[in-house]
């Protein structure tokens, strides 16, 4: 009798074990001669040397499946333990599988163009109105690159510019004050990465979310770097950010030039960067329109209404994200 310790390094334990540990119980039933205990990401198994070796091999096969699809079900477990290849979930056009195996894919032609642009270029600008999925697709591509081990980290950033509200007097430390600006980035990540795994990534800095000001002086290698709401950068800020790009890194910059929250006297860095870099090779540019809005259908009509209303009033367009 020997004891083996198996560590789940890729799959989320909650997804792997199943609701009320149903998957773990099924595995136990299929290996009746083994004694096993699981705690967190560690599985301890005791039994015959050959049978425990076979068990470890099967567990890692199940772990790879669970890491790919963010879910594990009875059919997949039975297929793997019978020595059969699990039936692949339909994945044509899928960027990644999110929480509970939800497929995340491009939903229109421009989102698909953005996917291709990021594959083909080290720097991509994605421009367009609120609700077109620019940020969501950018983060999905970053998570895919991380899961495929193409990069070692994801860096997500936003300029901390207030859209009407004043957050400076919020209680708490620097993180507490900054987090409201960054919440849309957390929301997207929570759709794509199980909570325990996301917490681990955040704690070990595999995923970093920081305001733009914290980028100064860094060289960002082996990473996907996403700058959201870039229309609210100053000319100095965006130049500083663009020059952070390191080796084996990709940068995605999203923004909506109709929603600039900077003071009237401060020019948008995004607007300048688009002009300066217009003819530079290796840079992709995707422009979304109202037809690409993928939120509630009413959002598209709201955007159209404000476009018609603003020239008559000469007022600023209220910000959305």
Residue 213's pLDDT is what? 79
Torsion of CA 275, 279, 285, 287, to 10 degrees: 50
First to last CA, the chain: 59
For the chain, which ranges sit under pLDDT 50?
A: 163-167, 313-315, 317-320
Token readout for 49 is: 């040397």
Residue 86's pLDDT is what? 75
Which pLDDT tens digit goes with each residue over 87-97? 766 666 899 99
Hey, CA dihedral for 220, 209, 192, 282, is it positive or negative? negative
Q: How many residues are given for the chain?
A: 321
Distance of alpha carbon 267 from alpha carbon 5, whole angstroms = 58
Q: How many CB atoms lie within 10 A of CB 43?
A: 23
What SS3 state is found at 273?
A: helix
Residue 54's pLDDT is what? 93
pTM for this predicted structure: 0.80
Token readout for 246 is: 């390191």
Token readout for 285 is: 């540019």
Residue 181's pLDDT is what? 72
Distance of alpha carbon 57 from alpha carbon 73, whole angstroms = 18
Distance of alpha carbon 78 from alpha carbon 129, whole angstroms = 46
Torsion of CA 311, 314, 315, 319, to 10 degrees: 30
Residue 1's pLDDT is what? 84
Distance of alpha carbon 120 from alpha carbon 118, whole angstroms = 5
Residue 53's pLDDT is what? 93
Residue 168's pLDDT is what? 54
Residue 318's pLDDT is what? 47
Residue 245's pLDDT is what? 93
């Amino acid at each position: 009798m020997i004891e083996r310790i198996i560590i789940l390094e890729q799959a989320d334990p909650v997804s792997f074990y199943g609701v009320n540990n149903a998957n773990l119980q099924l595995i136990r039933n299929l290996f009746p001669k083994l004694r096993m205990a699981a705690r967190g990401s560690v599985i301890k198994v005791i039994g015959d040397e050959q049978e425990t070796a076979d068990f470890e091999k099967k567990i890692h096969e199940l772990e790879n499946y669970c890491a790919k699809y963010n879910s594990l079900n009875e059919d997949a477990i039975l297929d793997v333990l019978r020595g059969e290849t699990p039936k692949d979930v339909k994945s044509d056009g899928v960027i990644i599988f999110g929480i509970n195996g939800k497929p995340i894919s491009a939903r229109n032609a421009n989102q698909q163009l953005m996917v291709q642009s990021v594959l083909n270029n080290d720097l991509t600008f994605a421009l367009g109105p609120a609700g077109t999925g620019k940020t969501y697709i950018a983060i999905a591509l970053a998570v895919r690159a991380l899961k495929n081990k193409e990069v070692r980290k994801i860096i997500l950033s936003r300029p901390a510019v207030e859209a009407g509200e004043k957050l400076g007097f919020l209680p708490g430390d620097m993180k507490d004050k900054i987090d409201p600006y960054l919440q849309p980035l957390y929301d997207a990540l929570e759709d794509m990465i199980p909570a325990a795994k996301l917490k681990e990534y955040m704690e070990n800095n595999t995923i970093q979310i920081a305001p733009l000001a914290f980028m100064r002086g860094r060289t960002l290698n082996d990473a996907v770097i996403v700058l959201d709401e870039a229309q609210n950068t100053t000319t100095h800020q965006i130049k500083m950010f663009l020059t952070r790009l390191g080796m084996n890194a990709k940068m995605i910059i999203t923004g909506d030039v109709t929603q600039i929250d900077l003071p009237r006297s401060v020019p948008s860095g995004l607007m300048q960067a688009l002009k300066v870099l217009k003819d530079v090779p290796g840079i992709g540019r995707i422009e979304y329109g109202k037809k690409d809005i993928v939120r509630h259908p009413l959002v598209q009509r709201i955007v159209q209404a404000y476009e018609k209303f603003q020239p008559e009033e000469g007022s600023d367009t209220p910000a959305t994200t």
